Amino acid sequence: MAPRTSTFRLRWMITTVALTLLLLLIIRPCNGNFFKPFNVSYDHRAIIIDGQRRMLISAGLHYPRATPEMWPNLIAKSKEGGADVIETYVFWNGHEPAKGEYNFEGRYDIVKFVKQVGSAGLYLFLRIGPYACAEWNFGGFPVWLRDVPGIEFRTDNAPFKEEMERFVKMIVDLMQSESLFSWQGGPIILLQIENEYGNIESEYGSGGKAYMAWAAQMAFGLGAGVPWIMCKQTDAPEYIIDACNGYYCDAFSPNSDKKPKIWTENWDGWYTSWGGRVPHRPAEDLAFAVARFFQRGGSLSNYYMYYGGTNFGRTSGGPNQITSYDYDALIDEYGLLRQPKWGHLKDLHAAIKLCEPALVSVESPQYISLGPLQEAHVYSGNSLSNGQNLSLHKSTCSAFLANIDERHTANVKFNGQVYTLPAWSVSILPDCQNVAFNTAKVGAQTSIKTIGQDAAFSQEMIQRKVMAQSWMTVPEPIGVWGKTFTYQGILEHLNVTKDLSDYLWYTTRQFASDEDISFWEKSNTTPALTIDSMRDFMCTFINGQLAGCTKGDWEKVVQPLKFVQGYNDIVLLSQTVGLQNYGAFLEKDGAGFKGQVKLTGWRNGDIDITNSSWTYQVGLKGEFSEAYAGKDNKHFRWKEFPHDSTPNIFSWYKTYFDAPVGTDPVAIDLSGMGKGQVWVNGQHIGRYWSLKAPEDGCNTCDYRGAYDSDKCVTNCGQLTQSWYHIPRSWLQPSNNLLVIFEETDKAPLRISIEPRFTSTICSEVPQDHYPLNAWSGGQFSGPSVAPELHLQCDDGHTISSIEFASYGTPQGYCQKFSQGNCHAESSSSVISKACLGKNSCSIQVSDAIFGDPCRKVIKTLAVQAKCSPPVDNVFSYLSSNSKTEM
């Protein structure tokens, strides 16, 4: 029997290997490439891919702001939303944290990321920089770069140019060695050198112009074989495409009539700072901006960001930018669709793609005035006439009708018909006759997210917190705890820490005589520490006691101090909260203290202690003892922290918890804490800081009119950030280690860890909504095709109940719907039959489905539904968890 068994095993192995090879051949061509090799070029109208002009939608997605496990889903959602291209920066300080020491693992595995983009059938726009800005720590520059002798950043400086060229060449060579350029069958179609340099070039004088020209020539000379871009660079040379960044780029023109109109950063939201309001950009305005861009000759629009993600660890820029980089993007920080923004823009992209044959076949559109603030751009022609060897297109016609009036709807006559244009909107007519999309008319669903309890079950039934009961703690020493050095004077923060830690301790001593004490008592005055200028955050201690903390951006500090007779220990704790990421002369910016440090209000006058003997201690003892890994040694002993204990400032805490059941994204609530950092299973989640936004400024949001980051803000009077993303891949089912370093006297007893998911979905679609489903193969099927209402829960969730349904004249909005005077009694039953128990459903908005409850009235279908996780998850919670808190 043994020989027969061996033969069977051999055949089984051969069959398995053969099937595996066959599967690989199916997934990827035999040459190992993602595409048949193709060339990329451009003309004045568009990027040309494999000989074809293309209108391209690009989705910004920064690989280190998500985990590798998240990348495929994010890329897939970008593609489903209509993206042709994925855009990312390259983050130099992530890849070369120390000079000559490289990191291309985990979240920094850029090769893996690019290959996953290619596997999805998408192109890649790689912005090498290597200056990124991106609200990323130090703008992407490694801090060691400051220490290169004689260096000056981003100017005609030999040491900087040498380091920059070395890194840029390394990335280009890496991409080429992995066959990732288009001409190799890879997804990379565009590269970028530098970033927004035109904003600061003048500050460097002649050195700036020389550097810009050098950077362009250096990049071009690397032989990457695809076009290079410089954004916000009006003096870019002929062989580099200059591009636009901003909220609106329809009025932008490149600096040569041989270059296409490219929008490298379409800001679909904005970043957030600690203590600030949270920006929001309405879907209607964002769609308006994109439609106007393509209306007026645009060729590639890149959403910055399509997915923002998370500034894990200490990667957030500064100063004082928060850990979340959600950016109000089309996909939220947790990887869930932000609706209606994602869906509305998906519909826009579909409408633009319907126009692509006309857009690429015409050299420039025909402009037609339709009114004082109304205009049309018409793309109509049989073929290109510039003599280039490009494919011909059959006769097509597409038009964009715009109403740029910020307040009033307009009726305009175009091509023999009358069209109604809402204020601040664009209608897209793929055939110059029928409207496929209007930017102000949203047909996509609205999704309401929740964190924690599943809304389909009562709080008594299920609580989705999965927490531990016990905590352990270790106090962090104030001041000196390990290896130190002494220096006569105040040293700049980064020159000492090299950004290995946020924290730098400065310690000195000052004698106070009996006469000094008596003087303060008799004059009823208090001496103070004054510092001319400080950034980002500092705490002052005297004789081991906290005197106070100050937040500032190069601001003066005045901190009262209480001295005792004799020698007094003064400890200053300087903290960075993200290094400056934007502006000229970054290498000179620094952190910590500038100017004089004095003790004021003394009997014999002020005492200048700037050049006193200062002892320096870098970092926290817990950091260097790897407390974030839960380690216990003779120098760092964890002890129990009973719930009735009085917490101390500057303390480490740890506990263990079970992961929430299921696959939903996970968040930790730190609203009950003060300021510090948090780790899970040794992975650095990031900084946290419970600062509230101002009470005012959150007014009613009107999408009409030009957007800026102060318009439509949210979260007034609330903590800027309360919930922090814990990637699922960083968790195990049970026994997860949570470590917190807390700087204030807050105890970790109100922390919870919970899943995040979409709990409520709503949609509202009128009968006269423009039906994209009526277009097939670029042709309009006719007005008889009814629009559809679509509902969809998160992956793995199903529609568990219909909370509102009305076909007729419903009133209100999501979570505030009510029946109007006209209502079809069949509404609820039709929707329930079509949707209950399903992940998604679609229903025609027509009398044929619901009956006609009111003749000669345009009806609307409004639906509100609940989404729930799989039943198995619910019973797992019920059987294994009860409401508990850390």
What is the chain's mean pLDDT, rounded? Answer: 92
The verdict on whether 96 is a catalytic residue reads no
DSSP 130-187: S---TTBGGGG--GGGGGSTT--TTSS-HHHHHHHHHHHHHHHHHHHHTT-BGGGT-S
Give the SS3 label for residue 714. Answer: strand
Instruction: Look at residue 12 and tell me whether its pLDDT is greater than 50.
Output: no
Please report the pLDDT score of residue 878 as a whole number.
Answer: 44
| φ/ψ bin of 852: left (φ > 0), alpha (ψ from -120 to 50), beta (otherwise) | beta
Lowest pLDDT segment from 324-333, 597-606, 877-886? 877-886
For residue 702, give every residue at least 6 positions away whose Cβ sits within 8 Å of its Cβ, in sequence order, or none: 712
Please report the pLDDT score of residue 476 as a whole number.
Answer: 97
For residue range 362-390, list pLDDT tens digits in order.
999 999 999 999 999 999 974 333 333 33
Is the bond preceding residue 340 a cis peptide, omega within 30 degrees? Answer: yes
- Please give the DSSP secondary-structure letter assigned to residue 422: -
Give the SS3 label for residue 290. Answer: helix
Task: Give CA separation, 166 vs 159, 170, 207, in Å.
Answer: 11, 6, 20
Please report the pLDDT score of residue 393 as a whole number.
Answer: 39
Please report the pLDDT score of residue 883 as a whole number.
Answer: 35
Instruction: Look at residue 11 and tell me whether its pLDDT is greater than 60.
Output: no
Among residues 265, 284, 375, 743, the one annotated as catalytic is: 265
Instruction: Look at residue 843 and tell me whether its pLDDT is greater than 50.
Output: yes
Return d(Cα 210, Cα 865) in angstroms, integer.
60
Lowest pLDDT segment from 440-454, 685-699, 807-821, 826-840? 440-454
Is the bond preceding residue 319 a cis peptide, omega within 30 degrees? Answer: yes
For residue range 197-227, list pLDDT tens digits in order.
999 999 999 999 999 999 999 999 999 999 9
CA proximity to 135, closest of 578, 585, 708, 688: 578
Q: Compute how many other C-beta atoms are within 10 angstroms of the C-beta atom of residue 458.
A: 9
Instruction: Look at residue 872 and tell me whether its pLDDT is greater than 60.
Output: no
Whether the CB-CB separation of 739 and 627 falls below 8 Å is answered with yes
| φ/ψ bin of 295: left (φ > 0), alpha (ψ from -120 to 50), beta (otherwise) | alpha
Please report the pLDDT score of residue 32 as a whole number.
Answer: 54
Instruction: Look at residue 767 and tell me whether its pLDDT is greater than 60.
Output: yes
- φ, ψ of residue 374 to 5 degrees: the values are -130, 140
Instruction: Look at residue 14 and tell me whether its pLDDT is greater than 60.
Output: no
The predicted model gives 725-745 an average pLDDT of 98
Whether the CB-CB separation of 433 and 348 falls below 8 Å is answered with no
Per cent of the chain over pLDDT 90 is: 88
- Please give the DSSP secondary-structure letter assigned to residue 331: B
pLDDT tier for residue 873 given thresholds of 50, 70 and 90: low
Instruction: Look at residue 9 and tell me whether its pLDDT is greater than 70.
Output: no
Buried b (16+ CB within 10 A) or exposed e, 687-705: bbbbbebeeeebeeeebbe
Please report the pLDDT score of residue 632 as a whole number.
Answer: 76
Please report the pLDDT score of residue 4 as a whole number.
Answer: 38
Helices (H), 581-689: 621-624
Return d(Cα 434, Cα 414) in angstroms, integer.
11
pLDDT tier for residue 467 given thresholds of 50, 70 and 90: low
For residue range 110-154, list pLDDT tens digits in order.
999 999 999 999 999 999 999 999 999 999 999 999 999 999 999
Return d(Cα 409, Cα 425) in angstroms, integer.
9
Among residues 196, 356, 742, 788, the one annotated as catalytic is: 196
Return d(Cα 516, Cα 493) in angstroms, integer.
32
Instruction: Look at residue 884 and tell me whether its pLDDT is greater than 50.
Output: no
DSSP bridge partners of 488: 613
Instruction: Look at residue 460 and tell me whether its pLDDT is greater than 60.
Output: no
For residue range 571-605, list pLDDT tens digits in order.
999 999 999 999 999 999 999 999 999 999 999 99
For residue range 302-315, list pLDDT tens digits in order.
999 999 999 999 99
Buried b (16+ CB within 10 A) or exposed e, 652-662: bbbbbbbbbbb
Instruction: Look at residue 96 and tell me whether its pLDDT is greater than 70.
Output: yes
Please report the pLDDT score of residue 458 as a whole number.
Answer: 38
pLDDT tier for residue 395 given thresholds of 50, 70 and 90: low
Say what the pTM is. Answer: 0.93
The tokens 């823009």 sit on which residue?
345
The predicted model gives 181-202 an average pLDDT of 98
Please report the pLDDT score of residue 468 as a whole number.
Answer: 54
pLDDT tier for residue 636 given thresholds of 50, 70 and 90: confident
Whether the CB-CB separation of 549 and 531 falls below 8 Å is answered with no
CA proximity to 648, closest of 739, 743, 562, 561: 743
Return d(Cα 827, Cα 820) in angstroms, integer.
13
For residue range 658-693, list pLDDT tens digits in order.
999 999 999 999 999 999 999 999 999 999 999 999
CA proximity to 39, closest of 207, 142, 181, 231: 181
For residue 278, give every residue at least 6 positions away whose Cβ sits within 8 Å of its Cβ, in sequence order, or none: 272, 328, 693, 713, 714, 715, 720
- φ, ψ of residue 407 to 5 degrees: the values are -130, -30
Structure tokens at 390: 């490009």
Q: With both helix axes pointing from N to C terminus, report the angle between 110-119 and 158-177 in degrees, rounded to the nearest 10.
A: 40
CA 581 vs. chain centroid, Å, equals 15
The verdict on whether 825 is a catalytic residue reads no
Return d(Cα 510, Cα 487) in angstroms, integer.
16
Higher local confidence (pLDDT), 237 or 630 = 237
Q: Compute how many other C-beta atoms are within 10 angstroms of the C-beta atom of residue 546.
A: 17
